[in-house]
Amino acid sequence: MRITLLAGGIGGARFTRGLLHHVATSGLDADITVVVNTGDDIRMFGLQLCPDLDSIMYTLGGGISEERGWGREDETFTVMGELGKYGVEPTWFGLGDRDLATHIVRTQMLGAGYPLSAVTEALCARWQPGVTLLPMSDDRLETHVVVDGDEPGTRRALHFQEWWVRHRASLPALAFPLVGVDVAKPGPGVLEAISGADVVLLPPSNPVVSVGTILQVAGVRDALRATAAPVVGVSPIVGGAPVRGMADACLSAIGVDTTAEAVARHYGPRVAAVPVGADGGGILDGWLVDDATDSDVPGRLASTGIASRAVPLMMTDVVATAAICAAALALAEDLRR
Amino acid sequence: MRITLLAGGIGGARFTRGLLHHVATSGLDADITVVVNTGDDIRMFGLQLCPDLDSIMYTLGGGISEERGWGREDETFTVMGELGKYGVEPTWFGLGDRDLATHIVRTQMLGAGYPLSAVTEALCARWQPGVTLLPMSDDRLETHVVVDGDEPGTRRALHFQEWWVRHRASLPALAFPLVGVDVAKPGPGVLEAISGADVVLLPPSNPVVSVGTILQVAGVRDALRATAAPVVGVSPIVGGAPVRGMADACLSAIGVDTTAEAVARHYGPRVAAVPVGADGGGILDGWLVDDATDSDVPGRLASTGIASRAVPLMMTDVVATAAICAAALALAEDLRR
C-alpha cells in the first residue's frame, strides 16, 4: 500500500512515527512517502535550515529531543553562544551544536549544486527514517508574515520563523505570503506520490502554514483533487484549540475559526454531497475529529460530502498515535469501497 | 614607533604576544601591525578557515588553547563528531565548536561581499588583540604541496593543511605552489604597513610556508627591500631543528638546510657587505639566533651583510619571548644608526 502524507514539522513527525508503528505492528505492507513543508526554511548565519524536514528526520531516526519536539537530543548550544559573543543576529533561534552539523552538510551540498531533494536523501542515509521524505519543492520558498507596521496604516513582513519563534505568534498576522511560489516547481516525485498513492493522509499539521503551504505549490492541489486515492485528514484542532503550536493565530489570519469543523470546511470536500457527485472544490474525502470534544462534528459535516469520524485524537504516545493512524486508514478503506 | 610583523600562526602569535608584553612593560609607544599568512586558509565543510589569522587573534585575545597552541580553550568537538556521522570528509582536521563560530561568522560575511580584511577587523572587535591584523591578501590564496603520486613518475598536489595536519608533513614535498598568487593583490594596508614602518620584524615563523608565502604576494618583497625601516628576523631554527612545527620538511623541499645560518642566507641581506652598499637581493638587515646552540652564526654571516646576534631564543614563556622581542628591537635600533 502506497501511503502519502503532506506534513509539517512536529505534528507531522509524530503522526508519521505512529503510522510506522501501526504498519510494523499490523504487518501492513506499506510504502510511505512524506511530502514536507519547506516554507519554514530559513537561511541563518549563512546556513540553510529546514526545520520541518529535520523534525521528521530526527523523530523517525531516533535523534529528536522528545522534550522540545524539535532539534537533537543531548544537545549543546556552544556555537550559538559564541555567535552571540560576536554580536551576530539572530539570537532568538535555538540552534544546537548537533543540529548545526545537519545544516552545515546541507548548505555545503546545496552550494555544490545538489537540489534539496538530493540533499535530503543524503541526510536520510544516516537517519534511516523508514519513509521517503520529499521536500515539497527544490526551489527556495519562504513563508513570510505580514503584520502591522510601527506607523499607523503601514505594514511590514517578517520571516515566519521570526514571527513564530521570536514573537511566539503574538503579532496579529494579516497574511502569509509564500515568497517564491509564483516560480517554484514541485519537488521531484511530489505530484507522483500523490497521484500514485493508495491513500493520502493529512496529519494534524498546521492547516495554514504547513499543509496550507504545501497546497500552494504548483500542481499539488490539482494532484490531490485528481488522485484515485482517498484523502483523509486528521484535525489539528481538538475542542476548539490547537493540540500543539499556535495554529489559532494562523487560522484567524485567514478568517477560519479554530474548530475541527471549520478547518474541514476550509480544506473542503473533493466531492460535494449535494448535488450528489458534484465537484466540492476541496481536497478532503475523510476527516477525523476527537471523540471527547468534537463528536458532533461528523454530523455537522455530513451535508458537505466530507465523511468524518470521531475517535480519540490525542497523540499522547506512539501507541495512541498508531491507533489514530489505523482509524484514518480504516476510514480511507471505507471510502474506497 | 610603528612596528610591522610578517607572521604565520603559532610562532607568530606567541612572538607578537611577547612583543606586546615588552611594549607594556617598557612603556614603549608602539603601534603594531601584523601582516598574516593566509596561504594556510582552507574551505572546509563550506566554511572559510583562516588558521593563522585565528591563531594570532585567539592568542592575543585570550581565547587560545595554550596546550594545543591553536584553536579555542575549553573546546568541544560536537559538531565535528556529527559531521563524521554523516560521513562527511575530512575527518582529519580538528574543528572545535567554539572555533566553528568564528568560521561561520567569517563565511557569512565573505558571502555577503565583505573582503577578508574587513571580516578580520570585525572579528577582532570581539577579541581586541591589541594589534592591527592584516591578511596578506583579500584574494583567495592557497598553499598546495606537490608530492610524488602513487604511480612512478607521477606527481599530485594536495592542500597544505592536508599535507601538514593529515600527513604530518611526512610525504616528501617537491614544491609549495601558492595557488592564486599570479592574480592576487596585497591586502589593504599591507604594503603601507611595510613602507611606513619604523621597524619590520620577522617572527620565528616557518620561512617557507608562512613568511615565504607572504613574500610571494605582489609588492611585498619590493616593499621590504625599499622600506627605510630596518628588517630584523628571528631564527625559527635553533640548533639545527625547528623550535616547533615541521619547518625542516619545508626547507628541504626548497633546498635549504635546517640551520639558522642557512635560513638567513635564504632570506638574504638587503645590502651586501662586499662590495659595501651593493644590493644584496634579500630582505634582511638583522638576524637573531640562539646563543646556546648557534653562537657561531653571527660570525659566519658577517660577510653577507646580515647583522646577526646570538641571544636566548626559546619562547618558553611570555617574559622570555618579550626579551627576544627587546633584543630584536635593540638590533634594529643599532642598525638604524
Residue A160 identity: F
In terms of residue numbers, what domain contains B304?
A: 2-69+113-139+180-336
Is B160 a member of any domain?
Answer: no
Which residue, among A38, A40, A100, has the nearest Cα to A75 in the 3D structure? A100
Q: Which residue of B has its CA nearest to A76?
A: B78
* pLDDT on residue A337: 75
B91 contact A CB<8A: no
Provide the grid cell at B280: 644584496
Structure confidence at residue A276 (pLDDT): 60
Inspect the interface and report whether the beta carbons of B104 and A76 lie closer than 8 Å.
Answer: no
- Residue ranges, chain A, pLDDT below 70: 274-278
Distance from CA of B124 to the nearest CA of A (A): 9
How far is the C-alpha of A131 from the C-alpha of A128, rounded, in Å? Answer: 8
Distance CA A253, CA A232 (A): 25
Torsion of CA B44, B46, B51, B57, to 10 degrees: -150
Q: How far apart are CA B76 and CA B92, in angstroms?
A: 16
What tens digit of pLDDT does each residue of B295-313 get? 999 999 999 999 999 999 9
Asked if B147 contacts B174 with a C-beta cutoff of 8 angstroms, the reply is: yes
Quick check: helix, strand or coil at residue A199? Answer: strand
- How far is the C-alpha of B4 from the C-alpha of B25, rounded, in Å? 19
Distance CA A55, CA A37 (A): 11
Q: How far is CA A54 from the centre of its chain?
A: 12
List, for residues B61-84, the tens digit of each pLDDT value. 999 999 888 899 999 999 999 999
Reference B1, options B28, B30, B26, B27; nearest CA is B30
Interchain contact, A102 vs B111, CB within 8 Å: no
What ipTM goes with this model?
0.90
Residue B313 DSSP code: -
A93 SS3 class: coil
Inside any domain, residue A172 = no
**Chain A stretch 30-59, residues whose beta carbon is closer than 8 A to a beta carbon of chain B:** 45-47
Where residue B120 sits, what CATH number does that domain have?
3.40.50.10680
**CA dist list (Å): B257 to A143, B207, B263, B266, B288:** 63, 12, 7, 9, 17
**Which pLDDT score, from 0 to 100, does residue B281 have?**
86
Q: Does A97 touch chain B (CB under 8 A)?
A: yes
- Shortest CA distance from B88: residue in chain A: A105
Domain count, chain B: 1
What does DSSP say about strands A132-135 and A31-36: parallel, antiparallel, or unpaired? parallel
Question: Is B107 part of any domain?
Answer: no
Query: Mind telling me how many Å the CA of B228 is from chain A's nearest CA?
Result: 38
User: Which among A76, A88, A105 is the nearest to B76, CB-wise?
Assistant: A76
The chain A residue lying nearest B108, using CA atoms, is A46
- What single DSSP character describes residue B269? B
Taking an 8 Å cut-off on Cβ atoms, the answer to whether A101 and B86 are in contact is yes
From CA B186, how far away is CA B194, in angstroms rounded?
Answer: 12
Q: In whole angstroms, what is the distance from residue A133 CA to residue A123 CA?
A: 10
| pLDDT value, residue B276 | 60
Domain assignment present for A8? yes
Q: Which are the contacts of B186, defined by CB distance < 8 A and separation ≥ 6?
A: B136, B137, B217, B218, B219, B220
Decide if A87 and B126 are in contact by the 8 Å CB cutoff: yes
Q: Does the residue A96 lie in any domain?
A: no
Cβ distance of B126 and A85 shorter than 8 Å: yes
Angstroms from B160 CA to nearest CA on chain A: 21
Establish if B164 belongs to a structural domain: no
Contact B322, B217 (CB under 8 A): no
Cα(A290)–Cα(A260) distance, rounded to whole angstroms? 8
**pLDDT tens track for B246-260:** 889 999 999 999 999
- The predicted pLDDT at position A336 comes to 86
Helix (H) or strand (E) holding B311: strand B307-311
Residues on chain B touching A46 (C-beta within 8 angstroms): 104, 107-108, 111
Whether residue B290 contacts residue B260, with contact meaning beta carbons closer than 8 Å, is answered with yes
Shortest CA distance to A39 belongs to which of A188, A141, A126, A182? A141
Establish if A76 touches chain B: CB-CB under 8 angstroms. yes
Percent of chain B with pLDDT over 90: 91
**A101/B79 CB distance under 8 A:** yes
pLDDT at site B274: 65
Residue A280's pLDDT is 73
> H helices of A66-188, where?
78-85, 97-111, 116-127, 160-161
Helix (H, G, I), strand (E, B) or coil at A62: coil
A337–B contact, CB cutoff 8 A: no
Residues of chain B whose pLDDT is less than 70? 274-278
Tell whether B128 lies on the interface with A, counting CB pairs under 8 A.
no
